[in-house]
Homo-oligomer: A and B are copies of this chain.
């Protein structure tokens, strides 16, 4: 599945990404730094060329909620376009070195209004984004923490899964227990216990910090997955 899907995904929003790529300048990003932080005035968007970025919300009490993990080809800094109060709602942390194409918000808005093809693609992108967030919403709230974790794992498969020869799916992304906890709104310890219980059942295994899913159907059944389209059921 994954290869074809990735290919299809790459072909989407080509004009939009072309515009972004042709942008004012390229910026190197370094692991551990922030591309932007919550509350900052937002006047730029980014297209990831390489590396990985995690967006999320960091609370005063140290809690952290993770929204997306994005890699090459993804657009970041969205949602600020055309808004009256252009401040980033989230923080974007670099988790793998790389480069982003930087584009000024004003310029992009201008281009979008001039070019219907771009308009179309951007709206498509934004609608998809909103639909993704909305489905995540009930996944995370409706079936307790276990449901939250399972559905996060399913999304990870759709976004970063690599099908192995034996049919299992490797989530090709180094994920710590704490990271998953931040995605699910739970704690490291709870994630650890749940993952171990999945290991014992033979549903998953973990090697070198990466999770392999052996029995995706088990997870799907547990969360009463409705097999919504893959462009919606993903993590980024």
Residues of A within 8 A of B (CB): 57, 59-61, 63, 65, 67, 79-85, 89-90, 112-114, 116, 119-120, 122-124, 126-131, 133-138, 140-142, 185, 224, 228-229, 231-232
Known contacts A81-B123, A123-B122, A128-B83; A142 and B229 CB within 8 A of each other:
no
Min CB distance, A215 to chain B, in Å?
A: 21
Q: A65-B141, A67-B134, A89-B228 provided; 14 other pairs, C-beta below 8 A?
A: A57-B142, A59-B224, A65-B137, A79-B127, A79-B131, A81-B123, A85-B231, A89-B135, A122-B123, A126-B126, A126-B130, A136-B137, A138-B185, A141-B141
- B138 adjacent to A57 (CB under 8 Å): yes
A231: B residues at CB distance < 8 A = 84-85
A212 → chain B, closest Cβ, in Å? 27
Tell me which residues across on chain B come within 8 A of A128, comparing CB atoms.
83
Question: How many copies of this chain sit in the oligomeric assembly?
Answer: 2
What would be 12 A-B contacts, judged by CB atoms less than 8 Å apart? A65-B142, A79-B131, A79-B134, A83-B127, A85-B229, A89-B131, A89-B135, A89-B232, A90-B134, A113-B119, A119-B119, A133-B137
In the complex, what residues of B have CB within 8 A of residue A134's CB? 67, 79, 89-90, 133
Q: How far is the CB of A76 from chain B (nearest CB, A)?
A: 14
Choose one: B59, B81, B82, B142; the contact of A59 (CB below 8 Å).
B142
Tell me whether B130 and A123 are in contact (CB under 8 A).
Answer: no
